[in-house]
Amino acid sequence: MSFLKLTELTKFYGGTCAVSAMSLSVEKGEFVSLLGPSGCGKTTTLQMVAGFEAVSSGRIELAGRDITHVKANTRGLGIVFQTYALFPHMTVADNVSFGLEMRKMPKAERRERVAQALALVHLEAHANRYPRELSGGQRQRVALARALVIEPPVLLLDEPLSNLDAKLREEMQFELRQIQRKVGTTTVMVTHDQSEAMSISDRVVVMEGGCATQIDHPHRVYEHPRTRFISTFVGKANLLAGRVVANGTRSRVDLGPLAVDVDDVGFQAGAQVLLSVRPEKLQLVDAGRGRFDGTVRERFFLGSQWLYAMTTPVGELMVLSPNDGRPALDEGHAAGIAWPDHCTRLLPAEEGAAAERVAA
């Protein structure tokens, strides 16, 4: 049985549907991220789980108990807000202890639990400091300790790392995951940062327009996106318009100037599709040795990689090549472009259109 279960969860603000028929089952101890652009409904979904927003229709269950209309302060969930929401007039220890005081826990037990929570986030030496005396990363840790000290059944994270600089944010991603694994708390996080969701989640829920468009393991979301939106929102993708002209053990796709074979057989012959291939799956080879030749229009140095904008017979393509010591290609340089058949994916040509799928 799922530990946290959302069934057809829907939220209207007047005539506007913010979340539409959202269904999700989260297992105990799982780390799930709600990923999507601003306005997609991810934060509203989290707020309904927390009890801060009323549910228009649908059901929320926690450990088999219906909590759809239970008040927020009686759900017992741990929450870390985007702004951390620490009390500025309280010390770190008092901030962490606050939830336990509200539960009228004896002072000795509170002191012990607070010490354990601060040790978990490596802030034992900062117990008597105030939030203004801490760095952004330290304030984030205090907020996390305050949420975990009450031993919640579910931890809700609302863009918890968005106020940190890039380097600290990356460090805190992995620290957050390590803490979650150590404690074992079921966690649901809201984020618009693809790399954040992909790197630390057991599963990712990609949301668009109030709907969950794909719920899957991070690797499958990236390697097997179901829609054009997912392929371009989760990483970069080259999209080439084509038509399936043959379908068997493999598909042949007509791209206009040429046809290519791909391993994706999910569309019937005659279907209009988009052929999707990630920039890092493209390989630059000697001219005349690839599927076709292209010319470097622009190049961008990314440190560990070179990003090339290539002009080709099938349109503009992005190619990511490792900075592995080989000379970079100059602008205007011609090169062949190759890729393995299994690295291509076929997507519906139009978002929302019913793709003509071959029955499995």
Residue 33 makes CB contacts below 8 A (sequence gap 6+) with 188, 189, 190, 191, 196, 197, 200, 201, 203, 204, 205
Does pLDDT of 351 surpass 70?
no
Determine the distance from the C-alpha atom of residue 300 to the mean position of all C-alpha atoms in its chain, rounded to a whole number.
26
Tell me: pLDDT of 147 over 50: yes
Cα atoms found within 13 Å of the Cα of residue 13, Cβ hemisphere only:
8
Q: How confident is the model at residue 319 (pLDDT cuts 50, 70, 90)?
A: very high
Count CB atoms within 10 A of the CB of residue 144. Answer: 27
Lowest pLDDT segment from 64-78, 110-124, 150-164, 346-360: 346-360
Phi first, then psi: what are they for 76, rounded to 5°?
75, 20
The β-bridge relationship of strands 57-62 and 65-66 is: antiparallel
Over residues 235-276, the pLDDT tens digits come to 999 999 999 998 888 889 999 888 888 888 888 899 999 999
Say if residue 145's pLDDT is above 80: yes
Q: Give 101-123 pLDDT, tens digit per residue.
A: 989 999 999 999 999 999 999 99
Task: Give the model confidence (pLDDT) of 29-66 as tens digits.
Answer: 999 999 999 999 999 999 999 999 999 999 999 999 99
pLDDT category at 358 given cuts 50, 70, 90 is very low
Q: For 343-359, what is the mean pLDDT?
A: 62
Structure tokens, 5 = 């279960």
Residues in Cβ contact with 238 at an 8 Å cutoff, skipping those fewer than 6 apart: 276, 277, 278, 279, 282, 317, 318
Of 126, 107, 110, 109, nearest in space to 118 by CA? 126
Name the pLDDT band for 1 (thresholds 50, 70, 90).
Answer: low
pLDDT of residue 341: 85
Distances (CA, A) of 237 to 110, 113, 116, 276, 350: 51, 48, 45, 6, 16
Residue 82 identity: Q
Q: Where are the domains of the chain?
A: 4-223, 238-348
- Indicate the pTM of the whole model: 0.90
Confidence of residue 307 (pLDDT cuts 50, 70, 90): very high
If pLDDT is split at 50, 70 and 90, which confidence band does 354 have?
Answer: very low
pLDDT score of 281: 96
Write the pLDDT tens digit of every residue in 71-103.
999 999 999 988 888 999 999 999 999 999 989
pLDDT at 342: 87
Measured CA to CA, the distance from residue 279 to residue 318 in angstroms comes to: 5
Measure the CA–CA gap between 339 and 260, rounded to whole angstroms: 11
Max Cα distance, the chain (Å): 77
- From the list 16, 22, 15, the residue with the least C-alpha distance to 57 is 22
Span 146-161, average pLDDT: 93
pLDDT given for residue 266 in this prediction: 81
Q: What is the CATH topology of the domain spanning 238-348?
A: OB fold (Dihydrolipoamide Acetyltransferase, E2P) (2.40.50)
In this predicted structure, the answer to whether residue 190 has a pLDDT above a threshold of 80 is yes
- Cα–Cα distance between 43 and 23 in angstroms, integer? 15
User: What average pLDDT does this structure show over 158-170?
Assistant: 85
Selected residue with higher pLDDT from 211 and 166: 211
- CATH T-level assignment (fold) for domain 4-223: Rossmann fold (3.40.50)
Please, are residues 266 and 359 in contact by the beta-carbon 8 Å criterion?
no
